[in-house]
Amino acid sequence: MIPQRIVDYLRNHSIPFERRTHRRAITAPELVDTLHVPGRRIAKTVLVKAGERVWIAVLPATDLVDEKRLAAVVGAPDARVLREPEFVGLFPDCEPGSEPPFGRLYGLSVVIDAALADEDRIVFRAGSHHDAIEMRYEDFYRLEGRPKVSLIGRARAHETPVWTDWHDWCSQ
Q: Give the domain CATH number at 23.
A: 3.90.960.10
Q: Each residue of 3-28: pLDDT tens digit? A: 999 999 999 999 999 999 999 998 88
Total structural domains in the chain?
1
Question: Domain span at residue 153?
Answer: 4-166
The answer to whether the pTM exceeds 0.85 is yes
Q: How many residues does the chain have?
A: 172
| R_g (Cα) of the chain, nearest Å | 15
Can you say whether residue 36 is alpha, beta or left, with left for phi > 0 and alpha for psi between -120 and 50 degrees? left
Q: How far apart are CA 170 and CA 100, in angstroms?
A: 31
Q: How far apart are CA 114 and CA 101, in angstroms?
A: 15
Instruction: Kindly tell me if the per-residue pLDDT of 156 is higher than 80.
Output: no
N- to C-terminal Cα separation, the chain: 36
Q: Each residue of 65-87: pLDDT tens digit? A: 999 999 999 999 999 999 999 99
Average pLDDT, whole number, for the chain? 90
Q: How far apart are CA 144 and CA 79, in angstroms?
A: 21
Q: Which residues contact 85 (CB under 8 A, 6 or more apart)?
A: none
> Is 43 within the bounds of a domain?
yes
> Is 85 within the bounds of a domain?
yes
> Is 172 within the bounds of a domain?
no
